[in-house]
Amino acid sequence: MFTDIRTSRDLLLEFKSHLASLHQELPLDLTVQVLTTGSWPTQPAS
């Protein structure tokens, strides 16, 4: 879980840095929580 939180934070910082390098701003405040792919799906595939 802590790895997921760190991954989410790192991806969000990279995204914001990318936007800044393009001199772009979003018209909203974006916060994203990303889980590792190993956490999904939560139920067995059918």
**pLDDT confidence of residue 38:** 65
pTM, 2 dp: 0.57
Q: From CA 14, how far away is CA 18, in angstroms rounded?
A: 6
**pLDDT confidence of residue 14:** 92
Count how many domains the chain has.
Answer: 1
Q: Is residue 42 part of a domain?
A: no
SS3 per residue for 1-46 = CHHHHHHHHHHHHHHHHHHHHCCCCCCCCCCCCCCCHHHCCCCCCC
* Both structure tokens of 6: 């760190």
**pLDDT confidence of residue 20:** 92
pLDDT digits (tens, 9 = 90+) for 1-46: 667 778 888 888 898 899 999 999 888 887 777 666 666 566 666 6
Q: Is residue 28 part of a domain?
A: yes
Q: Which domain holds residue 30?
A: 2-37
Q: Is residue 45 part of a domain?
A: no
Q: Is residue 25 part of a domain?
A: yes
Q: Is residue 46 part of a domain?
A: no
> In 25-42, which positions are buried (b, 16+ CB within 10 angstroms) versus exposed (e)?
eeeeeeeeeeeeeeeeee
